[in-house]
Homo-oligomer: A and B are copies of this chain.
Amino acid sequence: MNTFGHLLRVTTFGESHGPAIGCVVDGCPPGIAIAAEDFAADLARRATGRTRHTSARHEADAVEILSGVYEGRTTGTPVALLVRNTDARSRDYDRIAAQFRPGHADYTYWHKYGIRDPRGGGRSSARETTMRVAAAVIAKKWLRDKHGVTVRGHMAQIGDIVPAAHDWSAVESNPFFWPCESQVPALETYMDALRKSGDSVGARVTVVADGVPPGWGEPVYGKLDAELAAAMMSINAVKGVEVGDGFASVAQAGSVHRDEATRAGFLSNHAGGILGGISSGQQVVVSVAFKPTSSLRLPARGMDVDGNEVEIVTTGRHDPCVGIRATPICEAMLALVLMDQALRHRAQCGDVGDVTPLVPPQA
């Protein structure tokens, strides 16, 4: 189950401190222009080591295209991408190889497989998400060029701090993907204090897709929102997913929640752009909850592999808030799900004639 998607299928491999990580993107339409340098921007947005607010590990994240591209264009055969690990420090993990770090997959992998690669979390490390972001570079490009669909995201909460304003133009100019420029200094101070304390905090990320036409998605078990939920929940440290108003819908009246429509457009978007599992032509909106990092230098009570109680201290390089780098990862999963659904829609419903939306895209 290291493969994601139905028609656009992404298979990732690799451990945090192994020789390399990589992916195979199968099912790509032919003719998409792709070069090794196209991956740099999004990988840098996801990377550690760029600011003091993330882990100090500094990976080159150089992508080698091994197959599926000929003279700069995809050929329809599988695109394989490879990234060598260059800054792995496995000795950091010697001490905890026989311990189960609380809140980590150490314990569950050990019980499942009877064996585990303890170096940097092995396969359970967020290092794997590098390849999701790489694969999604292709998906984002196709969505934009073929359908005019754009995918973007921002941080929507850190700890109990929420944005005071929403300004897309601010998002990419601070290390937090924060949509309110004036709060950034306070956030820096907050994160500095947190890092100093040795503790960590959770985060909420919101990603949206604009330009999605009505009709993408499948009823019942292949619902667009169901696949988005799985895609987001498959990201490390995610504990919750919302579409549109999400849990706020619980306390809403139906007369408020149902999005009325006029010739000028929908009057609201409580649904987050999805009805009955199919896109409505409105903005697709997904929010994701990230738990606080579990790897702390603050000691915790835990167990070792021999069943002894031990005090566990984690001294490797870690993010005080994993959610900070999560925006491009959530965008990636959104893009991959949308492209897969777009291909499936074309397969089944390619003959359905008029696709001009009766209600104009988001008012």
Contacts and interface: CB of A to CB of B under 8 A. Distances in A.
A143 to B, nearest CB: 13
Contacts of A258: 102-104, 292, 294, 296, 300
A108 B241 contact: no
Contact of A70 (B122, B158, B274, B343): B122
Contacts of A103: 254, 257-259, 271, 275
Of the candidates A14, A112, A200, A222, the one having the most CB atoms from chain B within 10 angstroms of its own CB is: A112
Nearest to A25: B13
A70 to B, nearest CB: 4
Given A115-B76, A272-B239, A303 B359 contact: yes
Given A109-B276, A221-B3, A258-B294, A351 B31 contact: yes
Contacts of A296: 254-255, 258
Given A3-B26, A76-B349, A239-B242, 8 more contacts: A7-B348, A13-B67, A109-B278, A111-B213, A112-B215, A114-B352, A234-B277, A242-B247
A219 B105 contact: yes
A301 B109 contact: no
Number of copies: 4
A221 B260 contact: no
Of the candidates A22, A64, A157, A275, the one having the most CB atoms from chain B within 10 angstroms of its own CB is: A275
A352 B112 contact: yes
Interface string A68-92: 1010010111111010000000000
A246 B240 contact: yes
A146 interface: yes
B349 A113 contact: yes
A82 B234 CA distance: 26
A281 B108 CA distance: 9
Interface string A296-324: 10101111010101000000000000010
A227 interface: yes
A323 B358 CA distance: 31
Given A107-B359, A200-B254, A219-B124, A239 B233 contact: no
